[in-house]
Amino acid sequence: MQAHAANWWLWMPASLMLTACGMNMPHSESSPARVERTLLNHSIQIDAGEVSVLSLPQRTLRVQQQLHYDVTELNARGRIIDRREEHQTLPWANKPVDIIAGSFRTSLDTDVDGVLRLNLLNDGFLNLDYDNLRVIQLAASAGPKARDEVNLLIDRELRSKLHEAVRLIYDNLENDDVDQWAYRVHRLSELGLAEESNQLENMLILLTTGDPHLQGEFVNALEVNQRP
């Protein structure tokens, strides 16, 4: 009996050590729930409006990207609790759009809303061959599988307007008098280019701010509306 008691006391420290080790062993923690998203398709769409013919040098376009995802929700044990497909439409924000007209090529960036404002009378388009300008292609791309293109035809009357408007806007103003300035402003308006007419008038008003007499003559010439 005493031998059995002695053996029990010998095993007791070992048992306590095993118990303590078991209490101190780290427990495996479950992974947190998570959502996995896999991109299935990415496409880009350029909205150039319903009319495909440019009768004015300006056109506002909107570019969007569409994303198609496979979405899987996993619980803390890594088991699927839900699976679905999601579609997301976002603006093609602050991204380049290629503009091609024959051998002419340039690019413009969209704004934060994916809007692109095309104006063929901006100085970046002065090298266009207006005589042979028939179509302008716009293209946005995020890779070979995410690309869109649109073509805008150029109205024949617009081609002749562009020729004249470039001279009215960009020819040297210093060689003209106030009557010729006023003629440029009014002629742009007659061509249906109200935006460019207003911009030129405002620029000339600002340029003559330091010379009230010259500015007054220009304003009077605008009111008289005489061709030099």
Which domains does the chain possess?
34-155 (2.60.40), 171-224 (no CATH)
What is the pLDDT at residue 59?
A: 95
Average pLDDT over residues 23-51: 80
Confidence (pLDDT) at 19: 47
Contact in structure between 192 and 164 (CB atoms under 8 Å): no
Q: Which helix (H) or strand (E) holds 37?
A: strand 34-47
**Mean pLDDT value of segment 44-48:** 96
Give the type of residue at 32: P
211 φ, ψ (degrees, to nearest 5): -130, 85
- pTM value is 0.75
pLDDT at 30: 60
Helical packing angle, 156-170 and 194-207, nearest 10°: 0
pLDDT at 130 over 80: yes
The answer, yes or no, to whether residue 195 has pLDDT greater than 70, is: yes
Query: E strands within 92-182?
Result: 96-101, 104-109, 115-119, 135-141, 147-154
Instruction: Give the pLDDT band (50/70/90) at residue 174.
Output: confident
Confidence check: pLDDT of 120 > 70: yes
Which residues, in sequence order, are CB contacts of 120 under 8 Å at separation 6+?
54, 57, 58, 128, 136, 162
Alpha-carbon torsion angle 157, 163, 167, 169, nearest 10: 60
8 A C-beta contact, residue 110 and residue 63: yes
Tens digits of per-residue pLDDT, 12-26?
454 444 444 444 545
Q: Could you tell me which residues come within 8 angstroms of residue 132 by beta carbon, excluding any fewer than 6 positions away? A: 102
What is the Cα–Cα distance from 6 to 157, expressed in whole angstroms?
A: 115
